[in-house]
Structure 1
């Protein structure tokens, strides 16, 4: 048996512009408008295994060549050839070669000659293209479609697959039975081709690449701009912009088919199966709707065990379409860079919600409590911390206090209030300075705010927080920085699933930066710049670079000091120091070595260890009193 599959364009003699090689099929129901198609027929009377070009078609094709070897075109009247030739198909030889009828046409013979040449070239080009197609053989029908679709793109028309009649014994190769390159419609221009249906399709590998970029937080218009840049212009793009948007929308609808919250819980369960140490908990309301969601992966839990002395958390809005606050728990690593310990989505900001959130956070981290926390001034959050973390230092964000200062205080009083906020004194001195500030600046408008700030003075005044351990942080800018990074990819219209995916992308970038910092710390050493070369050299090896540069700045200041007197006691020493250029201004520095924290090095220096910072200090002698042996913490 033999199968012959044919291609036909839309100018095959039918009135409706459609074409098919199946004579029994009614016309007009095979095609969408202005689409070309191919159809197949069965021929079972050929014993040869390979296919040959249809003999009748070959005879018909030869009959179109006259005895002189010139090509003839049946649907063009030779008497009116000047008005019927399509200039766009004629080639460069016929441009400007036809003059309109006039009373003084002295080049009529030349025009007729040029017209004949153009027509002959067109016919020769059509015949060459015809036989170039007819000699093709294909092993699969998909190869046939791909070949003809490529030809259609070059010419400017669209195609679609028609129904195929197959023989029971399928052939191993496919030859074309007929091919016609005539069209009953206007061909599309090159810049219009991407909008034709058969040339506006997203292939499987392109789909996977687009979804990967979308999952990484890249906006869809940027993805399409990347495709256009790759192919050189939008006219050469394999699909147009709307196709990309529709495909992404359909994929999202498939993902959210079971509901946004259920899909989010499903993602958590999948990660739990992949990472046994992954932790998550959620609550639902009486109607079964998601109320609160908390999660942290194994890496975040390990990071908290190592660097969870200070925790910063703050809520932010407009991160999802439901208006549910997003609360990340962040801190500092040994490179003084932001790291995320956990994350949560809550339905409200009540005291009960924060109590659940803090208890869940402690549960996820084996009940390890931080040494201090930094939050904004939310009253419900403050009450929840007092219940759950009553023995932990709590500090309010200085940035939020600065913002409220500018809102409630007179601009002339801001400098004095900042002194209360940032400069540490004894409690007695603070009370005196506060009373003086109230007498000088209090008005009816700011009276309520000042009273509220005084009641919370232990949460923001440096005089009451000097004994706390905050790693130099005064605000929740670490949390705000993470939130701003998320806002680059999220908006109020996105579902929870998108927020979870983009949050994970931000975590990946933070951990990539941490890996780079670890590489720099292990493979490079900072440059020493002060006179205390031995101390700096030891510190460069003991510290990460971020902490070393902090110490280096303090060592530069130490060089401007000198020890005037030293008093030695049984358990401690007192150093009297002053600035070299102002010895009237003196300081008393009391130094008491802590048991178990002092260790002698080979060069006579001793080392003071701290969970984050350690430094080597030379043992001062009478001959070298310019070195100040005080710990840097």
Structure 2
């Protein structure tokens, strides 16, 4: 037994045990205070209403979160002058993103969905809402779209570019091609943003609607978020960039060069006139050397992703005869008959049935012509007669 400092026995301590030193509390600060650190504490973080509005406007204008936040930093005179950081800005923007519905839009959508489901239980739709139950994204597929996908779902085109400028809100149709070479709708989406998470939600909703039967090939524009979502939801599908969208960017990316006209001609020759991969590689290298394009970032990305858009690389895959240029132009021409820059979403939904009936009537007319107004054979060979009887007029002309 040990003896305490006062000479008395200490019964609470056994032999061999160490005595713990008494704990002390120092009420004095033993480190320097850093006032600027206070803005990092959650209790001090706040995004004021005018700043929230600016963040939303910049986001709607397509300005990324980093640039959006940095503009606030510059305007405030430095990071220390802000009461929030980039993560806070990103979280707020994600919460604020929702479909920009006008007066009567939500009611029109609800009425349309209820009417279609009452007509057929095979009409499916999905609604994605935020934490405050505001509509963020929509998806729907009618009976005809689901039926057409069973026959013509091998190749799908997905495009969000048409209505973006008109409504500041992407209308995202899934488009295929039927046996007449006419484009057909295979599902539809209305989106509040164009990020990876949004596309993943839409693609999964559409895939579930189509009995999880993934397309073999899909055509889109050069959207990185879209590409990420395709790799997640359709990992086995061959992904191709729309050639029309790629070539449309030539003026934007190369117009500043003094030799723009020869450059544009060289680019077109390389893309359209090469018959083999080796020939493309040779002509591409010649173009880079002639115009000193080795430091051009845009061309570097195109070359790295050449398997997604160059004709000699994609021609080995079945694309259902889908022409990307014709697809984009015909889609625009079709919608121009039903909407204009002042059309509201409510009006668009009301016009939607008219547009669908127009597509159905177009196909019925083509079916009739293929049955009763056959194109004449050009030869005496029997196999041409077989083609004439087996194919629609459009496909027979192609053969």
Between 473-482 and 461-470, the greater mean CA deviation after superposition: 473-482
Shift of 1:427: 4.2
Which of these residues, 338, 351, 356, is aligned with residue 502 of structure 1?
351
The residue aligned with 2:206 is: 361
Residue-by-residue CA offset, 1:47-101 (whole Å, 9 max, x unaligned): xxxxxxxxxxxxxxxxxxxxxxxxxxxxxxxxxxxxxxxxxxxxxxxxxxxxxxx
The residue aligned with 1:348 is: 193
The residue aligned with 2:18 is: none
> 2-side partners of 1:488 and 1:311: how far apart?
23
The residue aligned with 2:317 is: 468
| Equivalent runs, 1:3-22 vs 2, <5 Å | none
Which of these residues, 382, 385, 388, is aligned with residue 537 of structure 1?
385
Which of these residues, 403, 409, 412, is aligned with residue 262 of structure 2?
412
The residue aligned with 1:396 is: 241
The 3-state SS of whatever aligns with 1:312 is strand
Shift of 1:321: 7.9
2:162–2:171 CA contact under 8 A, matched in 1? yes
The 3-state SS of whatever aligns with 1:336 is coil
The residue aligned with 2:127 is: 282
| Equivalent runs, 1:579-598 vs 2, <5 Å | none
Shift of 1:514: 0.5
1:285–1:291 CA contact under 8 A, matched in 2? yes
1:319–1:499 CA contact under 8 A, matched in 2? no
1:427–1:463 CA contact under 8 A, matched in 2? yes
Unaligned runs of 5+ in 1: 1-255, 552-633
Q: Does residue 441 of the first structure (1) align with residue 286 of the second (2)? A: no
Shift of 1:435: 2.3
Residue-by-residue CA offset, 1:264-312 (whole Å, 9 max, x unaligned): 1232022112111101111122232221111111111010110111111
The residue aligned with 1:550 is: 398
2:177–2:322 CA contact under 8 A, matched in 1? no
The 3-state SS of whatever aligns with 1:458 is helix
> 2-side partners of 1:537 and 1:396: how far apart?
37
Residue-by-residue CA offset, 1:486-530 (whole Å, 9 max, x unaligned): 233323443322212222211111110101111112223221123
Which of these residues, 459, 467, 487, is aligned with residue 336 of structure 2?
487
| Equivalent runs, 1:441-460 vs 2, <5 Å | 441-443=291-293, 447-460=296-309
> 2-side partners of 1:450 and 1:318: how far apart?
28
Unaligned runs of 5+ in 2: 1-100, 255-259
Q: CA, structure 1 residues 423+443, in 2 after alignment: closer, same or farther (shift >3 Å)?
A: closer
**TM-score of the two chains, using structure 2 as the length reference:** 0.68
> 1-side partners of 2:179 and 2:212: how far apart?
22
Larger helix fraction of residues: 2
Residue-by-residue CA offset, 1:345-396 (whole Å, 9 max, x unaligned): 1001111111111111111111111121111112211222122222212211
The residue aligned with 2:169 is: 324
Q: Does residue 301 of the first structure (1) align with residue 146 of the second (2)? A: yes
Q: What CA RMSD, in Å, does the superposition of the two structures yield over aligned residues?
A: 2.5
Count of residues paired in the alignment: 294
Q: CA, structure 1 residues 357+524, in 2 after alignment: closer, same or farther (shift >3 Å)?
A: same
Q: Does residue 432 of the first structure (1) align with residue 286 of the second (2)? A: no
Shift of 1:473: 2.7
The 3-state SS of whatever aligns with 1:300 is helix
1:458–1:464 CA contact under 8 A, matched in 2? yes
Shift of 1:340: 0.9
| Equivalent runs, 1:617-628 vs 2, <5 Å | none
Q: CA, structure 1 residues 494+393, in 2 after alignment: closer, same or farther (shift >3 Å)?
A: same
> 1-side partners of 2:153 and 2:231: how far apart?
19
> 1-side partners of 2:201 and 2:344: how far apart?
23
> 2-side partners of 1:341 and 1:465: how far apart?
23
> 1-side partners of 2:103 and 2:329: how far apart?
33
